[in-house]
């Protein structure tokens, strides 16, 4: 972006001409480009002609931005400086947003969109930019990671054991930074409990910024880190009444915009803020997590929750976002996330590089897990087809598949990918094994080790200790399953051209079933589709296609 402004490119670092060359190259490789688009729109400095920003001008002339109660423009602050916010209640908002997407795509041939900051976020309380726009562009009201006083020194749990020298250096740097900050802004010595502002109710008058009741809001004031509750929509609705819908509405607008850009293709969108029904238009990632083992664990129940919410395309910032990652955590996390639908490694500005190739062991562990993932793309694609047509889940809690076993109700350190794959990741540092249950064993369910394809000897209702040295993630196939597979390529496009295969994992009766759905992978209305049922029994395999 140019100075964090939506639908723009920094001509020094990613010019349109260079961007086209880059995108032509990756598109030729069957790869895709998904840029970030934030939810706030920069408002240019009226006293600086060089600060002109056509996206704002077009939106302003169309009346598509939120206002204050008095009708003036609501001006908050986000990454580019003072900003305004789209009003999705305006009939002109979606056409304006669509036009901006179409205009940008003429220069930068993106393939989907990643929507961020859509709660909707603002760094200041209230319309702080009112009367201050001539100061734009302004720096965010806090130090950005990597700036003096905001150097990132955090590392995962147990880093001091596996990397003692580096940990000591980071600890010393963190202490020095904290001391310098304390000298500039001495900490308060007064211990207080949180005080929430309560207002006295006045009949017939609403005070939405400070209601006469309080909630346990982590940020205190409802307007902290968010657009104020009294920001007003074109139809008179206050943001207080529809705040939770902003992320949902911007994803709907983006969906409509991408249909205009790619009329025959399914839009690919990832959003940060969602609501009931958002899965119709977009997937979701888990937001700004941290490079901690606890957050890797949290990703599993979070993913299962979003499965229930009808948003199956889910993933997290693998290896962690805030703080620095390390070799062991990233090794385990890259393998775990390979079995999530949305798979992305992403970290904070100025954090250490955490691409898998930074550490040879992580690169090898990632290749191992991705080889399984890409082999199973036909199985995963079929799961998404069934999710789309029947509402079934892609990632599943053990208790959903085995509801008659009450001991599985709280099992959230393992999960199933569809009905047939059991994933048992290592979620703690310095471990060489992991405990896991094998559900259904009491009723005769057989589980096979993915790697050896041998049946597992497990007892019902007990944790089994499973060897899991660094670089190995235990994966098991449920007996009674037929899994469609393809030889993995470097991309989904390459994989789809490779030879097919089937893995038949027989149950105790010597039988197995499975299914496969195929289409062109991107059309809203494919020209041709194929659905195949597989049945294995009595030493033979049958396929029925329709």
Active-site residue numbers? 116, 119, 288
Cross-strand pairs, 477: 421, 448
Q: Is 319 left (phi over 0), alpha (psi -120 to 50) or beta?
A: left
Phi and psi for 72 in degrees, rounded to 5?
-75, 160
Q: Alpha-carbon Rg of the chain, whole angstroms?
A: 26
Tokens of 185: 């802004």
Distance CA 248, CA 262 (A): 21
Could you tell me which residues come within 8 angstroms of residue 341 by beta carbon, excluding any fewer than 6 positions away? 283, 312, 313, 314, 315, 380, 384, 394, 395
Nearest to 472 by CA among 438, 436, 427, 426: 426
Phi and psi for 499 in degrees, rounded to 5?
-60, 150
Could you tell me which residues come within 8 angstroms of residue 36 by beta carbon, excluding any fewer than 6 positions away? 1, 114, 116
Distance CA 483, CA 443 (A): 22
| DSSP character at residue 65 | B
CA count, 13 A, side-chain hemisphere, 336:
31
73, 119 contact by CB (below 8 A): no
Distance CA 24, CA 433 (A): 45
In 15-144, DSSP assigns E strands to 36-38, 41-42, 76-78, 81-84, 113-116
Tokens of 311: 């948003």
467, 433 contact by CB (below 8 A): yes
Distance CA 87, CA 39 (A): 11
Note if the bond before 137 is cis, omega within 30 degrees.
yes
| DSSP character at residue 521 | S
Q: What does 333-354 look like in DSSP terms, one character per residue?
A: HHHHHTTSSS-EE---TTSPP-
314, 415 contact by CB (below 8 A): no
97, 261 contact by CB (below 8 A): no
Could you tell me how far CA 414 lies from the centroid of its own chain?
20
CA count, 13 A, side-chain hemisphere, 417:
27
């Amino acid at each position: 972006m140019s100075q964090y402004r939506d639908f723009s490119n920094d001509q020094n670092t990613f010019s349109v001409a260079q961007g086209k060359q880059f995108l032509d190259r990756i598109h030729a490789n069957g790869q895709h480009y998904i840029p970030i688009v934030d939810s706030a729109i920069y408002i240019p400095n009226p006293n600086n002609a060089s600060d002109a920003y056509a996206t704002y001008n077009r939106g302003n002339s169309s009346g598509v931005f939120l206002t204050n109660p008095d009708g003036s423009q609501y001006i908050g602050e986000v990454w580019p400086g003072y900003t305004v916010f789209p009003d999705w209640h305006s009939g002109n908002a979606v056409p304006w947003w669509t036009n901006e997407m179409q205009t940008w795509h003429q220069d930068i041939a993106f393939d989907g969109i990643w929507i961020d900051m859509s709660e909707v976020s603002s760094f200041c309380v209230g319309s702080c930019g009112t009367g201050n726009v001539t100061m734009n562009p302004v720096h965010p009201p806090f130090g950005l990671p990597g700036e003096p006083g905001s150097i990132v020194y955090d590392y995962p749990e147990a880093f001091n054991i596996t990397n003692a020298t580096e940990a000591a250096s980071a600890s010393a740097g963190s202490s020095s930074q904290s001391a310098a900050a304390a000298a500039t802004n001495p900490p308060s010595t007064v211990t207080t409990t949180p005080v929430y502002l309560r207002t006295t109710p006045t009949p017939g008058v609403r005070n939405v910024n400070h209601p006469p009741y309080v909630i346990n809001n982590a940020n205190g004031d409802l307007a902290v880190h968010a657009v104020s509750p009294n920001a007003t929509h074109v139809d008179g609705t206050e943001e207080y009444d529809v705040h939770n819908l902003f992320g949902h509405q911007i994803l709907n607008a983006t969906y409509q915009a991408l249909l205009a850009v790619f009329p025959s293709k399914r839009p690919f969108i990832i959003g940060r803020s969602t609501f009931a029904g958002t899965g119709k238009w977009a997937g979701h990632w888990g937001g700004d997590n941290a490079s901690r083992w606890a957050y890797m664990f949290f990703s599993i129940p979070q993913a299962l929750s979003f499965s229930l919410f009808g948003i199956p395309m889910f993933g997290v910032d693998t290896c962690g976002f805030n703080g620095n990652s390390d070799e062991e955590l990233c090794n385990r996390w890259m393998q775990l996330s390979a079995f999530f639908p949305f798979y992305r490694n992403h970290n904070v500005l100025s954090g250490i590089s955490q691409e898998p190739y930074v550490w040879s062991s992580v690169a090898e562990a990632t290749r191992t897990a991705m080889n399984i993932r890409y082999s199973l793309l036909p199985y995963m694609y079929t799961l998404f087809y069934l999710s789309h047509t029947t509402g079934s889940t892609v990632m599943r809690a053990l208790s959903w598949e085995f509801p008659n076993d009450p001991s599985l109700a709280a099992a959230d350190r393992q999960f199933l990918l569809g009905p047939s794959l059991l994933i048992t990741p290592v979620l703690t540092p310095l471990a060489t094994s992991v405990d896991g249950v094998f559900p259904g064993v009491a009723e005769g369910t057989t589980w096979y080790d993915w790697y050896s394809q041998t049946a597992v000897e497990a007892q019902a209702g007990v944790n089994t200790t499973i060897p899991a040295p660094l670089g190995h993630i235990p994966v098991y196939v449920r007996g009674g399953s037929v899994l469609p597979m393809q030889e993995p390529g470097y991309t989904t496009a390459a994989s789809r051209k490779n030879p097919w295969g089937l893995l038949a994992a027989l149950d105790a009766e010597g039988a197995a079933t499975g299914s496969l759905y195929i289409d062109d992978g991107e059309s809203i209305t494919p020209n041709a589709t194929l659905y195949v049922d597989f049945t294995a029994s009595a030493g033979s395999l049958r396929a029925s296609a329709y």
